[in-house]
Amino acid sequence: MEEEYEILENTVRDFNTKYVDNNSLKLENDTMGKDFVKMLAGQGFFSMTSQAEGGAGTDIKALSIVLENLAKSAPAVAVKTLLSNSFSTAVKEQDVLGAVADGSKSGTVTFSDLLVGKGQNGNLVLEKGRVSGEKEFVVGSDSDFIITLVDSGELVLLKSGFKTGKKHKKLGFRSIGFSSIVVDTEDFTILSKDGRKTMERMYEDLSIPVAAISLGMSEGVSQKALDYAKVRTAFGHYLKDFQPLAFDLSSLVAEMEILKRYFRDLLSSSPSQKEAMFLKHKSLTLAKDISRTSLQIHGGYGYLEDFGIEKFYRDSMALSVLFHSEEKDMEKLSGLVFESKAGFV
C-alpha cells in the first residue's frame, strides 16, 4: 500500500481506539451525537469525495480505506461517512458542501429510488417551482440536505422544507435516521434533468465503498470470534481446537483474505464496473456468512448486544438491503459478465 494510504489507515485505527471502540454500542444503537460527528468531519472523513474547498476531491481509494477501518469497530459510523461522501459527489454548491464537510450539516441520498419498483417508495411531485409529497425508505432521513428523485425524473437537492415522517424498523445502523420524509418546499436545486441516470451512476460508484464496509465488518467480527475461540473452553478444550469451528472460521477467513487482496488490487488500479460489482457481490455475502459463524461461536453471548457481535449480524444484512438489490444488481452483473443483456427472464 502506498505510504499516504498507510498513514490514513493508521489515522482511522487511532480514531477507532480513541473514540469508537469503547463507545461502539452507543454509536450503533443510540446516537452519534453532534460532537462525535464533528470529530469525524474534523478528520476529513466526510469530504473525501467533495469538490468543495478543503475537500479531498474524489478519492475512492482513500474513502474505501477509511470505510473499511471504521466498519471494523462501528459499521454505523462507516455508513454515516459513506452517506456524506456519496452526497458530496453530486453537489456543487460550496456552502452546502462546506457545511457537510465540516459536520455542521448532514446530507444523504435516497437510493431506495433505485432499489424498489417505481412508485413503491412514495411520490414527490415537482410542480410550479415546488416539490411536495412523501418519500419512503430514506436512510439518513434525519439529514439537513437530501438528494432525491422526483416523479418527473429530475434529481433534486432538498435544502429545507421537509421533515421525517413514518419511522421504519431498524435492523441495522440504528443511530442513523430511517423513515419516510414529508416534503413541501421551494428551497431546492435541480441537480440533473435525467435524474435516474445520475443516481444510477452514483449507485454504481458505491460498489467499492460498500464492499469496503462489508470487508471491514468481516474483519471486525471475525477477529472477535478468533479472539474468543482462543480463550473460551468447552469439554476441556479451547473452542479453536474443535474441527467444525476451526474449519468453518478458517475457511471464511481465507475467503476474506482473498477478497481483501482483490480489494487492494482494485484500489491500486482503475477498476471496471464489472470488477467493482464482483467485489461488492462477494463481500456482502461474506459479511453475512462470517457474521453468522462468529455469532455461533459466541453461543448465547453472541446473541447479547454487550458482546458486540449481534450488531454485525444485523448490520451485514441491513447493508445488503439498503445499498444493494439482489434482483437489480445481479441483472446488471449478468449483463456485464455476458456482455449483453442477461438474466432478465
In the complex, the residues that contact other proteins under the rule CB under 8 A are 112, 115-117, 120-121, 136-137, 168-169, 171, 234-236, 242, 244-245, 288, 292, 295-296, 299-300, 302-306, 310, 313-314, 317-318, 320-322, 325-327, 330, 343-345
The conformation of residue 18, written as its DSSP 8-state character, comes to I
If the CB atoms of residues 243 and 270 are measured against other proteins, the closer one turns out to be: 243
CA atoms within 13 A on the CB side of 159: 13
If the CB atoms of residues 125 and 234 are measured against other proteins, the closer one turns out to be: 234
Q: Which residues contact 324 (CB under 8 A, 6 or more apart)?
A: 115, 210, 280, 284
Minimum Å gap between C-beta 77 and other proteins is: 19
Minimum Å gap between C-beta 3 and other proteins is: 40
Minimum Å gap between C-beta 119 and other proteins is: 11
Minimum Å gap between C-beta 15 and other proteins is: 25
Helix/strand/coil (H/E/C) assignment for every residue in 89-104:
HHCCCHHHHHHHHCCC
Provide the terminal-to-terminal Cα distance of the chain, rounded to the nearest Å.
Answer: 43
Sheet arrangement for strand 145-149: 107-109, 145-149, 155-158, 188-192
Helix axis angle, 75-90 relative to 34-42, nearest 10°? 60
| 293: three-class secondary structure by DSSP | helix
If the CB atoms of residues 267 and 329 are measured against other proteins, the closer one turns out to be: 329
If the CB atoms of residues 129 and 244 are measured against other proteins, the closer one turns out to be: 244
Minimum Å gap between C-beta 171 and other proteins is: 5
If the CB atoms of residues 126 and 138 are measured against other proteins, the closer one turns out to be: 138
